[in-house]
Chains A and B, each alone.
Chain A
Amino acid sequence: MTEPLIKIVDLHARYGSSHVLHGVHLDVGKGEIATIVGRNGAGKSTTLRAIMGILRSRTGSIRIAGQETIAAPSEHIAWLGVGYVPEERGIFASLSVADNLLLPPIVAAGGMSIEEIHALFPNLRERGRSPGTKLSGGEQQMLAIARVLRTGASLLLLDEPTEGLAPAIVQRIRLAIDAMKARGQTVLLVEQNLRFAVKVADRHYVMENGRIVDVMDRAEAATKMERLQRHLGV
C-alpha cells in the first residue's frame, strides 16, 4: 500500500490561545478526491490553513509527499506541490487578472498551459487586463482555481469553492475538478454544499468541533445521505 500523498496524524492547532483543532487524523491517497464536510466553525478551513502553513501554531504530524511539514514555512510547503485556493479567494486588487493568473510560480511540471486554462474558463480570457477585483464572485473563484492549476501542484486544497455561486458556475467548477481527477491530481475539498460534495468526491471526512467524527466513502455516502445531513444539522 503506497503512502498517501498527504497524511495527517493527531493535528492540534491554535489561534492565539484558542485551541481549535483537537487531534485531526486524515489522509488522501494520490489521485483521490476527498472532502471535509461539517458545520460552520467545525474547523474545516482551519485544517486547510494548518496544512498550508498559514496557521503557524500547530503540533502533530503532517506528511506531504513523504516529507514532514509540521514546522515548515508556507513557501516550502507550496514547493512540495501544494496549491491553495482560499475561502476568500484572495484575488489581488493591485494586480490585473492576467497578473493574478501568472503570479504563483510554477512548482512542478505538468501544470495547465494558459490555453488549456482559457478553454476551461473562457471568461478569464476576455478579462485579462481588468484589475483583479472587477470580476464577479464566480469569475474570481474561477481565477483562484485557475492560477493553482497553472503551477503544476499535485495536491490541491480548495476551501468552499462553490460558496455563494450560481449553478452555472458551480457546474464549471465541477468540470474543473473532473479535469483535476483526469490529470491525476489529488484534491482535498472543504464543502458545505453536500450535494456537490457527494457528486465529486471519493471519500468524505466529517468534522465536528475540531475533530474527525466520521469517514464515508463514495458508495456509503450515497446511501447514508441522511446520516451526513444529520452531522451537518441540515
Chain B
Amino acid sequence: MATIETAGIKRANGGRPLIKPALWTIGFAALLIMPFFVYPAFLVKMLCFCLFACAYNLLASTTGLLSFGHAAFFGSAAFTAGYAVKAWGVPFEVAVLVGTATGFFLGLVLGFIAVRRQGLYFAMITLALAQLVYFLAFQLPFTHADDGLSGISRGYLLGMVDLNNNYAMYYTTLVICVIGFAITFRIIHSPFGSILRAIRDNQPRAISLGYSVDKYKIMVFALSAAMSGTAGALKAIALRLATVYDLHWATSGDVLVMTLLGGSQTLLGPVVGAVIVTSLHDYLAESGLPISVVIGTTFVLCILLFRNGIVGELKQRLKL
C-alpha cells in the first residue's frame, strides 16, 4: 500500500519531529545557492528532467501504470513551444503554456487508447504509440527531422526578466518546477488521488462501486502528460533546441529509469533519480565510457536489489 511521505505531516519515528522540516529547509537552501557552485545551464537541464520524472511518477505511483512512451509528450511540447517562439514570437510564459497544453491534449488521445490495457500491454502500447509520434515528427516539416529546431530564443519572463541570463533562467525554472512538484503533491493527496489508488489496488471493486475507472486513468494520464509537456517546453527554451531525440524511446527509457531508480513510492524519488541520471549522462559523455552500460547496470541492480528505489530504501533504512 503506497504512502506518499510529506514533510512534517507524517509522524517521524523515535521523537525526531524536526528532522524532516530541517532536511527540507537545507534542501531548499541548497537549491537556492547551487547555481553559484555548479554550472547553471546544466542545472536547468537537470531541473527539467526532475520535473519530467515527477510528472511521470504522478501516473506511475497513483495508477501503478508504467508508461514506456512519455517522451512523446516531452518531445512534442519541446517542438510546439519552440515553434511558438520561433515562428510566432510568443513570450516565454505563453510558450510554456503551449507546451503544457500540447502534452495535455496528446495525453488525452494516447491515454484513451492505452488505458484499455494494464501492466505489460500498457507498457508495450505506450512504447508503440510514442514510436508512432516519433515517426510522425519526421514527416512534419517544422521539426526539420534530424537537424531539429534550433535557435529558440529564451525571451523575457513576464516581459521584464531577461532569461538569457543563466541565473534568471535557473531561478525561473526552479520556481516552475517547485510549482509542478506542489501540484503533484496536491493531486496525489486529493480525493481524486485516493480514488486512483483505490482503482490501482482493487479495480473490480472500484467498478462495482460505480467509478468509471477508464475516465480517471485517462485524466491522470493527461495531467502527467501535461506536466511532461511543461518540462519539455522548458527544456527546449532553456537549451534553445528541440530535437527528435526528445521524442526517442531512449528518452522514454531515461525517465522510466530515473523514476524507478529514485523510487516510485516517494515524491522525492524521481527527483533524486533525475539528478543521478542527468549527472551520469553529463559526466560519462566526457569520459567516453558507455552511458547505456552504466545506466543499464545501475537499473538492473536497482530492479534486483532496491525494488523501492534509492530514496525508498533510504527511507526504510533510516526509518524516516
Q: Note whether A and B contact each other (Cβ less than 8 A).
A: no
Binding site for B on A (CB under 8 A): none
Binding site for A on B (CB under 8 A): none
